[in-house]
Structure 1
Amino acid sequence: MYNLLIVDDERLVVETLALTIPWSSIQIKDVYTANSAADALKIMNTQTIDIVLTDIRMPEISGLELIEKIRSFNKKTKCVIYSGYSDFKYAQKAMTSSVVEYLLKPASDEEILQSIEKATNILDEEWNEVVSTQRAKTTLMKLSPLLQSTFLLDIINGKRLSQFEINHHVNLLKLPFQPQDKCALIVVRLEEDSVQTDWESLSLLDLAVNNIAEETLREHFSILSCKDSYDYLVYLVKLNDQKADQLCELGDMTDKMAMNLIEQSAIKLQDNAKKFLKKDISMVVSKWGEFPNNAASLYQDCITSFRRSVGNDKGIFLTLDKKKATDAIESLQSLYEPPTLMQLLDMGNRAATMNKISEIIQELEKEGRSSQEHLLEAFLNISAAFTYAIHKNGKNLDEILGEKLELLINRKSLINVKQLNDWSTYIAIKLFEELDTNLKNSKEHVIVKVQKFIYEHLSEDVSLQAIADHVFLHPAYLSTIFKAETGENLRDYVIRLKMEKASYLLKHTNERIYQICNLIGYQNPPYFIKIFKKFYGVTPQEYRESSLS
């Protein structure tokens, strides 16, 4: 669907075209009107306009000048000229390729519809080109490095991807990694340095380190890189096919040999950064794992190692032990893998929120995960998410939690996973019920304000923009919620009220037609008569006479 702007300094022409032609039949969603080129430009700056139907002869700024201005900031907008014969000949000479169609006044509704439909067809063709397979492939090639980086970031952050999604990304982005490939991570931290260097831009420095990493690692490894939320550079590596074949031929294809190769390459990367960039970098090399299943845990091990490193030393180089301490307590993965519970509550996604709670409970119910440590970790995380959501929506905790607030205040009463599940599920349901009620009340309040405003200003020119400004909403959004709540288009609602008031005045007063026309906000009696006849099937005078008989 497209938006149309009609521009003409004759108000009657604009109103007649806007209200009497069935625009929706040719993909026109919203129709905007302006009585000068200056007003048209204001609308163009605040609304998404796809097609402009404009006169030529207008005060101050002509239609041709308007088209030129539109072309300067939005070349996609299609323009149709609707003007007199002399203007038409002038327009043909001045505008040979900038307009879709030239229409001579007066034109029939069918001719106007055909011209605007021609514009919508051109827009359709252009959008089909935008979404064409070939253009998408070209764009994909340009964005491939960014998409590869995003994919790796999702994996190390523990985003849950199905096997289909993983295979799809691997094939689409032509990644040198396949599921179950042996891989390792190199995590690089750029150290802060007070020494003045040429690399003052972090982006340039990142790029320079990436270039060194590419040159250093590519000899032996296939790599995938990204930058994480800590501003660390992360490299996922595996032996490339050529190097793997060489080691197999030598009979040295072991994890130890491959890890030694990674360590030597990483040390070389560190040395080159120091030598050529005059920058210290610290790095951690993970143990071997399986792509992509172990990538998140390998990454967390690297980050933990950075966190546990003591002192302010720069140029740290760490390799992780193959064995973990058996008594180490691991965090609950489901609490932190994106999207988190807090993010889902922030988005107002009810179904996904309930699924997230179920995932957390399921992980707690696994063997060895239902300890008081993990139970407390989950409880504090879920409580923080609920508190954030409740306060963000302007509520107090006791308004939503009620008697369940006691568990939040005195968490010693939390004794098992089932209790946590019951408590979390209850609060989530209560919270979304409150949000649904607030949203419904908010929309109903807006509709009441809109109806009241229209009723009080019925004798004026009640425009969609004026109504939207009154309730502080975008016109397009206001139109959408009004239709959803009332089942009637806002523009149709305004016309209906005006016609109903005209009907009442015709039946119960002796006001003349032109007086009634003014009382319902129309300045031109012939236009009012045309609208009235379209609404009731008879002219105002015929309607009055039939009511008296």
Structure 2
Amino acid sequence: MNILLVDDEDFVLDYLAENIDQPRFRIGHIYRANSVSHALKILEENHVHLVITDIRMPEISGLELLAQIRSQVQDIKVILLSGYSEFDYAKQAIKHGVFDYLLKPASPEEINECIYQAYEAIVRDGHNEYQLNLAKHAICINNDIRKEKLLLDLLLGRRFTASSLKDQMTALEMPDLSNTRTRLAILRLESEDSNDTHEDIELLSYSLLNMTKEILFAGSTENSLLWYCKDPHQYIVILLEERLWVDEERLREKLLNLQDKVNVYLHRNVSVLISTPQQFPKQMEQLYRESLKYFWNAIGFSTRALQFMNDNPSATDYRPLSRLYEPPSLLNLMESGQWGEVVTKLDHIFEEFETTLFRTQDHLLEVYYYLCNAFSYISHKQALRLADLVEKPEYLRNGYYFRTATQLKEWTLSLIVQFQSNIEDSPSKGHSHIIKQIHSYINQNLNQDVTLNTISNHVYLHPVYLSRLYKKETGISLSAYISRIRMEKAMYLLTHTNQKIQEISKEIGYHKPQYFISLFKLQYLLTPQEFRESQSKKPIDQSKDLNIMRHS
């Protein structure tokens, strides 16, 4: 606490300074002034909590000093020094904001008791101000959250009446944007560091928003509202008022500047898409969905991209992934414990993302859902919950957490290590090498006459014992597994090659094509040729087919 003593007599100032119990009140500094003008200068240059002043001074009275203090600073406590003849005058002054008064000559005990009361009041006021600031901060945060939710509701299609929307915006102290032309800006923060925690991402997003606001509103004297929200894909979506984008070239310059600043100060990249204009709040959901589709199409996995929807990029030539579905499938390799082959398979799958044709969010999601399907099946076979094996469970709820193929691959490889460890530590570990031998033999000899007898001869086990062991370890019969592998390969060859039905039949071990055709139709309710024709008209939903076979 800092104290200012004001009196035209030096001996009074000395007396007061010498008798104040400084340690008790944690006094930082005691200032002295012989006049009101000197006191005002000290108050202007320093932070003072308590003023002790004489009521009568030659130049200006202590009450006039009080009036000037109150006109400038409200929270300073003032104690008046008064003689007996001014007692009524002093009492009157208390009604006008004086904290307390001391009658001259005051004893050291009286001085310190009066200062103690002022000190307690200052502490209380400080605590109350702190609580008030906390409350104001909480209200601001709550309002920000409500603003985000309102914008997100509009983007996701929630309907509001004109009066209801206006009332909500007014309550949030937002300008009325009804029937004004607006655009959406979609920002994607990009990082190759897959170790970013949720807290890291939130902090980076907060910094990105501050930088965006500073750059977009640079030089503007108008109210700088940045209305934004985070969408389900973890993109930042900002509603831009017309004054921010009416000069499109100027907006481009600002966004390029933003990308530079993000790279320099956050060591990250940011891609930005600016939508076409739309009258607010009409068709906000449609504009948002079109913007997202355009973002994934025009930007995809590119980093530090800047795109306006009216730039009209060439259409993306979508093509299906092929290595993801090449036999043997990832699921089969995991089931048989061929972990080295699993990693090799993953390398081949993610190599496809090196080409431009597969640098889209859709392709990334296709791989993500395929992997989740395989991981779920394997974990449940081990009587485990997939969520218990995943280091970052939020990734299971939303594939859009993965911004790059590298991030998805790193996450997948970490899961592979966990799965391998759990399976090798399981009670059935003693027979896993036999199952691995069986699966390896089937994959290598699929075009041959693979039967229970040929396999039992290969692993040196009696056919009956082998059949029971395999069913116990895997949950399905050996013949069902062989049929499944053959059908998986048949589907792949029908979809990705021009081989004749007869050639495919022989390649998967059925030397009588009619027998293969009848089995295939029994499985899928289509002949192989009908299946091939159906797949030429629409993208193959291989994961669905795998599920059908798995449960048949």
TM-score interval, normalised by the smaller of the two chains = 0.3 to 0.5
Task: Give TM-score, length-normalised by structure 1.
Answer: 0.35
Q: What TM-score does the superposition give when structure 2 sets the normalisation length? A: 0.35
Larger Rg: 2
